[in-house]
Amino acid sequence: MKIPKRKLFLLIIFAYVAFSLYAAYNVFFSTKVISRVHRVVKKETVSGGVKDGGGAPFLARDWNPWEDEQVDYNSALTKKREAFKKHLARIDKNKATRYRVQIWGKAAIGIYLWEHILEGPLNPTDKVAQWREGELQSGKIDFSFYTGPAVVQGHVPLDMNSLVLVLNGREPQKVSYSTRWLEHVQALVKSRTVSHVAVVLLGNEHCHNDFIGPYLKRNGGFVDLLFVVYDSPWVNDKDVFQWPLGVATYRQFPMIRPNAQLITSNRPYLCNFLGTVYKNSSRETLMQVLKKSGLEEECITNAREKWLPQETADSLRQYQTALVQSELTLCPVGINSECYRIYEACSYGSVPVVEDVLTPGSCAAGSSSPLRLLKAAGAPFIFISDWKELAAILERERGMSQEQRVDRRRRLLEWYAGFRQQMKERFTEVLEENFFKNV
């Protein structure tokens, strides 16, 4: 008898399903249940023997065939809970070991410390506001910062016992002002309102900083740490550290964030120098070299005879334009070899050509001076000892390809970002080690 194709197809499907169910049934009971029974039997045999002299094993009435899986699950859950508890404990411990430091910015270099090195926010954003403040975290320290003319003695909120005071010691008037702040903080230390003090000092350009000496702890004073600008002979990297001069924040020079255009743009000028030319100085030599070599058209220059303490909006814009349009920024010495122009050129990726000559005064005259901090950090500058070398330097510049210039610009910007990060980490670590090592 011939079976219709439709019925034959249904019979095949039915047989396949039945066979699959049967196979699954055998696999389940042979590998799952039976294996569990054997494991339970083994446990019961060891603990209580076998009932009826070797007959079927006795199984407890509350036996659970998924017992082992439940044990494994509970064990894993317990481990997860313990791990989470340890995680919470670490969080609590980290919270417990965070430290608080307040910074009083009573000199313009405080803005460089806060915005350029620590990269902290400031409110309000108005640069000429009477009172500005900000907060940030760095390492294990929670910093708060106060600056502006309205930040006066006795009227700054002080809810922590570790303090950094930013001062200017360049000239007698600034020294007198800074001394009053030191005496105010000394009174806070004596009253035990403050326990730890560091000073960031814009030092004298001749390194004559004797006014602060008696306040240092090494001399019986209360200042634990000193971060000082310029190559001071006091620097020992134990309680006195060298600090970078930075950009002229007192002239409202901004924090520049590198971008692709800053790196890859075609710069129409080889070099720039905008500044004061003093009589019988190396700056006169510089201007003479540019003029004699016929390089005035290839470099942006704007020389003035008198130093101007403040920029106008137009002069600042002109200066920034010169930096961004020039491959090199010429940095002749002033009263000191280290000048704002060096850091401002770095901000725009214009390579500083630095006059590597010691200036008169008491600054260290070691083999790495002047500019030992920048040299130690591997600054990718062009160092010269005489501006008569400039013509040959500019001749080499003409022969560089755009690709080479872009690569050099990128490396300079990366170096400057890394240098500021290095200063940030060093500053934070020194405070942690000296203020909180016994906490």
Residues 406 and 312 occupy one common structural domain: yes
Cα separation of 232 and 204, whole Å? 9
Residues 402 and 257 occupy one common structural domain: yes
% of the chain residues with pLDDT over 90:
66
Kindly report the number of other CB atoms within 10 A of residue 330's CB atom. 29
Q: Please give the pLDDT value at position 349.
A: 98
* pLDDT single digits (tens) 230-270: 999 999 999 999 999 999 999 999 999 999 999 999 999 99
Highest mean pLDDT of the ranges 115-124, 286-295, 430-439: 115-124
Provide the pLDDT confidence category of residue 45 given band limits of 50, 70 and 90: very low
User: For residue 73, is it within any domain?
Assistant: no
Q: Please give the pLDDT value at position 134.
A: 97
- Residue that has been written with the tokens 């702890």 in this structure: 217
Amino acid at 128: V
Question: Domain range holding 300?
Answer: 251-423
Residues 226 and 288 occupy one common structural domain: no
Say if CB 203 and CB 228 are below 8 A apart. yes
Say if CB 23 and CB 15 are below 8 A apart. no
Highest mean pLDDT of the ranges 56-60, 343-347, 388-392: 343-347
* pLDDT single digits (tens) 56-94: 333 334 444 445 555 564 566 566 556 655 654 554 455
Cα separation of 118 and 424, whole Å? 6
Residues 113 and 229 occupy one common structural domain: yes
Q: What distances in angstroms separate CA 325 from CA 75, 254, 344, 388, one per listed residue?
A: 68, 17, 13, 23
Provide the pLDDT confidence category of residue 404 given band limits of 50, 70 and 90: very high
Kindly report the number of other CB atoms within 10 A of residue 105's CB atom. 25
Domain count, the chain: 2
Residue 294 scores a pLDDT above 90: no
Residue 410 scores a pLDDT above 60: yes
> What stretches of 234-312 show up as alpha helix (H) in DSSP?
260-264, 282-292
Residues 238 and 282 occupy one common structural domain: no
Tokens for 169? 């010691």
Cα separation of 98 and 138, whole Å? 10
CATH number of the CATH domain containing 108: 3.40.50
Q: Please give the pLDDT value at position 322.
A: 96
User: For residue 292, is it within any domain?
Assistant: yes
Q: What distances in angstroms separate CA 230 from CA 132, 170, 315, 386, one per listed residue?
A: 27, 11, 27, 21
Residues 359 and 289 occupy one common structural domain: yes
Residues 115 and 176 occupy one common structural domain: yes
Is cis: bond before 172, omega within 30 of 0?
Answer: no
Residue 7 scores a pLDDT above 80: no
User: For residue 7, is it within any domain?
Assistant: no
Residues 309 and 406 occupy one common structural domain: yes
> Looking at residue 236, what DSSP letter applies?
-
Which of 20-34, 127-141, 179-193, 358-372 is least confident?
Answer: 20-34
Cα separation of 341 and 276, whole Å? 12
Tokens for 138? 């760095």
Q: What is the mean pLDDT of the chain?
A: 84
Residue 44 scores a pLDDT above 80: no
